[in-house]
Amino acid sequence: MTQSQLLQFAIETLERLGIQYALVGSLASSTLGEVRFTNDIDIVVRLDVFDAARLCDAFAGDEFALYKPAILEEVERGGQFNILHPSSSNKIDFMVVGSTDWSRRQLKRRERRQVLDVAECYVAAPEDIILGKLLYYQDGGSEKHLRDIAGIWKRSGERIDREYLEAGINELGLDEAWVVMLARLNQ
């Protein structure tokens, strides 16, 4: 199963089950910026335990690897979990909408977009993708997140709501990461 096929299956499953979602991470940043290879699909989801059990059942079978008890625990915690497709080494990282205002806003601000060769799906707004990438950069220091932001800024900078972005940077404590990013953008 290719990454595109896995993404298509995940989107069809989430929409069939009526689960709110937004594609985030590198696939999302590739739709607005520069395309970058990634081994995983990142999706923010609004899940309760009932919906999580239905999602697990939809991915049940020999084709996928998941551990339902751990997934249900992560849903209760507002954490994250993954579902693997072992034969292709592709995986989906699901991030459960948490208790922060920003976490909930991602789903409210999502947009329908074409991703890869897959039908349209919900993708986080560019500002929220940037905020997520800044969080990942702050946590791990990986330059790939700054490159992804630069790509979004280069291709989609005119549509970025700078006021919303600055408010999110302040709310999430991303000032230092943003200073590093601004220096990169001004090179």
Query: Residue 37 maps to which CATH number?
Result: 3.30.460
Higher pLDDT, 12 or 29: 12
Print the domain residue range for 71: 3-185
Q: In whole angstroms, what is the distance from residue 155 CA to residue 42 CA?
A: 21
Bridge partner list, 122: 112
Band of residue 144 on the pLDDT scale cut at 50, 70, 90: confident
Assigned token pair, 118: 């897959």
pLDDT attached to residue 16 = 96
pLDDT at position 126 over 90: yes
Q: Tell me how many domains the chain contains.
A: 1
**Mean pLDDT estimate for the chain:** 89
The per-residue DSSP string of 60-111 comes to -STT-B--HHHHHHHHHHT-EEEEEETTTTEEEEEEE--SSHHHHHHHHS-E
Q: Are 78 and 99 in contact (CB under 8 A)?
A: yes
Mean pLDDT of 106-125: 88
Q: What percent of the chain has pLDDT over 90?
A: 58
Q: pLDDT of 67-89, one tens digit each? A: 999 999 999 988 999 999 999 88
Mean pLDDT of 57-62: 88
Strands 80-85 and 40-45: unpaired
pLDDT at position 22 over 70: yes
- Name which of 15-19, 35-39, 100-104, 180-184 the model is least confident about: 35-39
pLDDT attached to residue 3 = 86
Q: Are 96 and 75 in contact (CB under 8 A)?
A: yes
